Amino acid sequence: MLPGLFYVLAIICVIWAVVAAVMIAVHMNRRGFKVSFLWLRLMILKYLHEYAKVTREETGRVGPLFYHYVVPLNTALVIVVLLVITKVR
């Protein structure tokens, strides 16, 4: 039962990161940056870097969407690694 919970948690984290990526792309598009939604999966790191740079210049801090992308994605990665490690045994 516990591994099933981890699978669900990992999927929720990935969905959270995808929604944050789309929100970052929309934010950058509104700021006048050319954003390709077709290539979002490949270009998200560029958009993420630009988002952090723009928000840091405006407010002195990195915008919250940066963390809404990075934290759940890293959490999902840790969960998947733990599931793989426990599955190997």
Range of the domain at 25: 2-88
Closest CA to 49 of 70, 32, 78: 70
Counted domains in the chain: 1
Name the burial class of residue 75, with classes exposed (0-12), middle (13-18) and buried (19+) by CB atoms within 10 angstroms of its CB: middle
Spatial separation of the C-alpha atoms in residues 65 and 14, rounded to whole Å = 14
pLDDT tens, 22-66? Answer: 999 999 999 999 999 899 889 999 999 999 999 999 999 999 999
Residue reference for tokens 């929309």: 26
Contact 28, 47 (CB under 8 A): yes
Q: What is the pLDDT of residue 69?
A: 97
